[in-house]
Structure 1
Amino acid sequence: MNGRKRLSMLLVAALITTVVSACSSGSNNGGSGSEGNGGQNVKSTDNAGKTAASDGPFGKYEQPITVKSVLSTAGWATFPEGETWDNDNRWTKLYRETLGVNLKWNWQVDSTQYDNKMNVTIASGDIPDLMVVSKKQLNQLVEADMVEDLTDVFDKYAMPYLKEQVAEALAPAQKMATYDGRLMAVPMYGGDPRDSLVTLYVRSDWLAKLNLPEPKTIDELVQVAEAFVKQDPDGNGKADTLGLGVLSATMGGGSMGGFLNGFHAYPDIWVDDGAGQLMFGSIAPETKTALARLQQMYKDGLIDREFGTKDYNRLKEDVVSGKLGIFYGTISESALIAVDLIKNDPKASWKAFPLPSIDGTPAKPSVGVSVGGFHVVKKGFPRPEVAVKMMNLFLQKVYGEDKFGTNNDLQTYAWAENAKYAMHVLSPVQGYIKDYNYRLVRDALAAKDPSGLNEALKNTYDLVAGTDGSDPEKWQQWWIHQPAVSPFEVRDQYQLQPDGVVIDKYFGGSTKTADEKMSTLGKMQNETFIKIIMNAAPIDEFDNYVANWKKLGGDKITQEVNEWYASNK
Structure 2
Amino acid sequence: MQHTKITYTILASIMGLGAILSGCGEDKEVIPAVSGISQGQASQFANKIKISMFNQGTFNAAAPLPPREEDIQRQMLENAMNIDLNMIIPQSGQATTKLNTLIAGGDIPDLLFLKSRADLAQYYDQGVLADLTPYLEQFPKLKQRFGKDSWDAMFYQGKTIAVPGYDNVNGISRSLFIRNDWLKKLNMKVPTTPDELFEVMRAFTEKDPDGNGKSDTFGFIGGMNKEGNLQTYGFDSLMWMFGVNPPSAIEVKDNKPVFLFIEPKMKEALAYINKMMEAKVVDPDWVTMNTPDLLDQKLYKGKVGFMVRDARRLEPDAQQKMKEIGGEVPEWIVIPPMKGPYGDEILERKSFQGNSWAISKKADKDKIIRILSLLEYLFTDKEAYPHFAYGIKGIHWDLVDGKVKNKTPDLTKELKEKYLWVDHYRMPRRGDDTEYFSFKNPKTAEAFTNNQKYVLDPLPGNLLTADLSDTLSADRTRFINESLVKFMTGKDPLSNWDQFLKTLDTKFDMQKYKDNAIKQFNDAGIIK
With the length of structure 2 as denominator, give the TM-score of the two structures.
Answer: 0.72
Give yes or no for the alignment of 1:148 onto 2:127: no
Partner-residue secondary structure (3-state), 2:480: helix
Partner-residue secondary structure (3-state), 1:371: coil
Q: Say if 2:388 and 2:425, in contact at 8 Å, map to a contact too.
A: no
Query: Residue 388 of structure 1 is aligned with which of 344, 354, 372?
Result: 372
Q: Say if 2:64 and 2:421, in contact at 8 Å, map to a contact too.
A: no
Cα separation, 2, equivalents of 1:184 and 1:491: 29
Cα separation, 2, equivalents of 1:524 and 1:222: 28
Cα separation, 1, equivalents of 2:375 and 2:476: 36
Q: Deviations over 1:437-475 (max 9, x none)?
A: 56xxxxxxxxxxxxxxxxx69x98xxxxxxxxxxxx95x
Cα separation, 2, equivalents of 1:284 and 1:343: 43
Give the equivalent residue in structure 2 for 1:188.
Answer: 165
Give yes or no for the alignment of 1:527 onto 2:527: no
Q: CA deviation at 1:369?
A: 4.6
The residue correspondences of 1:447-466 to structure 2 (distance < 5 A) are none
Q: Say if 2:133 and 2:159, in contact at 8 Å, map to a contact too.
A: yes
Cα separation, 2, equivalents of 1:290 and 1:337: 35
Q: CA deviation at 1:543?
A: 4.4
RMSD: 4.1
**1:124 to 1:292, Cα distance in 2 relative to 1, 3 A:** farther
Query: Residue 427 of structure 2 is aligned with which of 398, 412, 430?
Result: 430
Give yes or no for the alignment of 1:237 onto 2:213: yes
Q: Deviations over 1:350-384 (max 9, x none)?
A: 33333224537343344155224232212231311
Q: CA deviation at 1:425?
A: 7.7
Partner-residue secondary structure (3-state), 1:503: coil
Partner-residue secondary structure (3-state), 1:259: helix
Cα separation, 1, equivalents of 2:474 and 2:103: 24
Give the equivalent residue in structure 1 for 2:467.
Answer: 512
Cα separation, 2, equivalents of 1:337 and 1:289: 39
Q: CA deviation at 1:561?
A: 1.7
Cα separation, 2, equivalents of 1:273 and 1:68: 40
Partner-residue secondary structure (3-state), 1:307: helix
Give the equivalent residue in structure 2 for 1:349.
Answer: 331
Q: Deviations over 1:498-553 (max 9, x none)?
A: xxx36302343413248855444333333333333344433355545444444425
Give the equivalent residue in structure 1 for 2:408.
Answer: 417
Partner-residue secondary structure (3-state), 2:390: helix
State how many pairs are aligned.
Answer: 456
Segments of 5+ residues of structure 2 without an aligned counterpart are 1-38, 397-405
Give yes or no for the alignment of 1:68 onto 2:38: no
Cα separation, 2, equivalents of 1:293 and 1:329: 21
Q: Say if 1:341 and 1:348, in contact at 8 Å, map to a contact too.
A: no
Q: CA deviation at 1:316?
A: 0.9
**1:273 to 1:73, Cα distance in 2 relative to 1, 3 A:** closer
* Identical-residue share of aligned pairs (%): 19
Q: Say if 1:197 and 1:366, in contact at 8 Å, map to a contact too.
A: no
Query: Residue 314 of structure 1 is aligned with which of 294, 304, 308?
Result: 294
Give yes or no for the alignment of 1:477 onto 2:442: yes
Q: CA deviation at 1:434?
A: 5.2
Cα separation, 1, equivalents of 2:133 and 2:121: 17
Query: Residue 173 of structure 1 is aligned with which of 132, 136, 150?
Result: 150
**1:69 to 1:243, Cα distance in 2 relative to 1, 3 A:** same
Q: Say if 1:352 and 1:487, in contact at 8 Å, map to a contact too.
A: no
Q: CA deviation at 1:208?
A: 0.5
Partner-residue secondary structure (3-state), 2:246: coil
Q: CA deviation at 1:260?
A: 0.3
Q: CA deviation at 1:322?
A: 1.7
Q: Say if 2:251 and 2:260, in contact at 8 Å, map to a contact too.
A: no
**1:150 to 1:293, Cα distance in 2 relative to 1, 3 A:** same
Q: Say if 2:149 and 2:458, in contact at 8 Å, map to a contact too.
A: no
**1:148 to 1:273, Cα distance in 2 relative to 1, 3 A:** closer
Q: Say if 1:229 and 1:242, in contact at 8 Å, map to a contact too.
A: yes
Given residue 305 of structure 2, which amino acid in structure 1 is its aligned partner? G
Cα separation, 1, equivalents of 2:503 and 2:313: 35
Partner-residue secondary structure (3-state), 1:364: coil
Cα separation, 2, equivalents of 1:395 and 1:412: 15
Q: CA deviation at 1:180?
A: 5.2
Q: Say if 1:173 and 1:370, in contact at 8 Å, map to a contact too.
A: yes
Given residue 207 of structure 2, which amino acid in structure 1 is its aligned partner? Q
Give yes or no for the alignment of 1:296 onto 2:275: yes
Partner-residue secondary structure (3-state), 1:352: strand
**1:157 to 1:346, Cα distance in 2 relative to 1, 3 A:** farther
**1:332 to 1:371, Cα distance in 2 relative to 1, 3 A:** farther
Cα separation, 2, equivalents of 1:489 and 1:255: 19
Give yes or no for the alignment of 1:282 onto 2:261: yes
Q: CA deviation at 1:244?
A: 0.9
Partner-residue secondary structure (3-state), 1:151: coil
Given residue 241 of structure 1, which amino acid in structure 2 is its aligned partner? T
Q: CA deviation at 1:150?
A: 2.0
Partner-residue secondary structure (3-state), 1:239: coil
**1:210 to 1:512, Cα distance in 2 relative to 1, 3 A:** same
Query: Residue 452 of structure 2 is aligned with which of 477, 491, 498?
Result: 491
Q: CA deviation at 1:321?
A: 2.1
Partner-residue secondary structure (3-state), 1:328: strand
Q: Say if 1:73 and 1:85, in contact at 8 Å, map to a contact too.
A: no
Given residue 178 of structure 1, which amino acid in structure 2 is its aligned partner? F
